[in-house]
Amino acid sequence: MTEARSHLDDHAVTAAAEWVADNEPRPDVIPAIKDRYGLSALQAAEACALAQKIRVARRADI
């Protein structure tokens, strides 16, 4: 994978994580973000993990 492609993938994972963090939890989140952001299953899982960190950070800022 090229560095440029990796950067685009990182951006997509981050965007997906922000989308997940901004929305109510749903049982089909992995397929939803795979389709919406063009992610692999691993990237979708990484986005979910990052979304949880975002949610925790937001609660800490309250």
Transcribe 9-46 into DSSP letters.
HHHHHHHHHHHHHHS---TTHHHHHHHHHT--HHHHHH
User: What would the mean pLDDT of 33-61 be, rounded to a whole number?
Assistant: 96
User: What would the mean pLDDT of 4-18 be, rounded to a whole number?
Assistant: 84
| Whether the predicted pLDDT of 1 surpasses 70 | no
Average pLDDT, the chain: 90
Q: Looking at the 3D structure of the chain, how many domains does it have?
A: 1
Nearest-10 crossing angle of helices 41-60, 3-22: 50
11 CB-side CA count, 13 A: 6
Q: Judge whether 47 and 9 are in contact, CB under 8 Å.
A: no
Lookup result for tokens 């951006």: 11
pTM of the model: 0.83
| Whether the predicted pLDDT of 45 surpasses 80 | yes
Domain span at residue 38?
3-60
| Whether the predicted pLDDT of 52 surpasses 90 | yes
| Whether the predicted pLDDT of 53 surpasses 90 | yes
